[in-house]
A = this chain, B = another copy of it.
Amino acid sequence: MTYCCGVLVREGLVMIADTRTNAGLDDISTFRKLHNLSEPGERLISIASAGNLSITQSVVSLASEGLENPETGVVERLSDVGSMFKAAQLLGRCIRKVRDIEGAALDRMDIAFKITLLVGGQIRGDRLRLFMLYSAGNFIECTPDAPFLQIGEHKYGKPILDRAVTFDTELYDALKIGLISMDSTMRSNLGVGMPIDVLVMRRDAQLAEVDHRIDSSDAYFRDLRDRWSSALRAAHIAIPKPPYGAGAP
């Protein structure tokens, strides 16, 4: 399992990904799922991945090495595409290419071809953008009405994002709320686990302001978990009991 979210606010973009992979409950490993391609001041592209690990890694490798664009005959790479839209298109083609290569063999083994990606970032001269790609290589873009996208085990962590994040949320508040969302998910699904990789980029900077791995010894994250648990407890205790039946005041 996996949980990743991207939050796109006025000030910038936050990308968060866990690192747990599992082939069954008895085979758990740690793999980085947040892939950052950085050329400071020029481009910063961050890719978070969910799905079959062999597929997601192959797609990211292919997009880094380069794939010929059949319409132009030009080999395109994440390191030279001219816009985030082109980066999303390239990754979409890479998904289809990996499917062409691996799909039939996976089908024979009844292994689903499953991949979702979040692709966020900015290339100088272009806008800061965030996309979500599906297994067919098609994609949607994050907009200010719902300024976040999630992949993997998204349900446990969605309520806090729904309630707390708007396009005007400050950048480090967006990071904080994203970490609360990750905490809720880890608490309910053992398939999502530490360490957590985070990336923060400010709009129009094209560089990582934070590129950090949070492990179980991270004092801030432990404090956040404790505070959030205590606050939730206090919050439900502060609500009056239902007035129905014998609960009536």
Interface on A for B, CB 8 Å cutoff? 155-156, 158-160, 162-164, 170-173, 175-177, 179-180, 184, 187-188, 198, 200, 202, 209-210, 212, 220, 223-224, 227-229, 231-236, 238-247
Contact = CB atoms under 8 A, between A and B. Distances in A.
Nearest to A200: B245
Contacts of A158: 156, 188
- Among A163, A176, A242: residue with most chain B CB under 10 A: A242
How many copies of this chain? 2
Given A158-B188, A227-B238, A164 B233 contact: yes
A212 B244 contact: yes
Contact of A244 (B164, B180, B198, B202): B198
A155 B154 CA distance: 9
Contact of A220 (B155, B224, B243): B243
A224 B224 CA distance: 25
B172 A159 contact: no
A247 B160 CA distance: 21
A176 B242 contact: yes
B188 A246 contact: no
Contacts of A198: 244
Contacts of A176: 236, 239, 241-242
Nearest to A221: B242
A159 B175 contact: no
A164 B238 CA distance: 13
B160 A236 contact: yes
Contact of A155 (B155, B246, B247): B155
24 contacts: A156-B159, A163-B233, A164-B233, A171-B247, A175-B242, A175-B247, A176-B239, A180-B236, A198-B244, A200-B247, A202-B246, A210-B242, A210-B245, A210-B246, A212-B244, A227-B235, A227-B238, A227-B239, A228-B235, A231-B234, A231-B236, A231-B238, A231-B239, A235-B235
A156 B154 CA distance: 9
B241 A172 contact: yes
A10 to B, nearest CB: 16
A160 B231 CA distance: 12
A11 to B, nearest CB: 10
Nearest to A214: B244
A209 B181 CA distance: 37
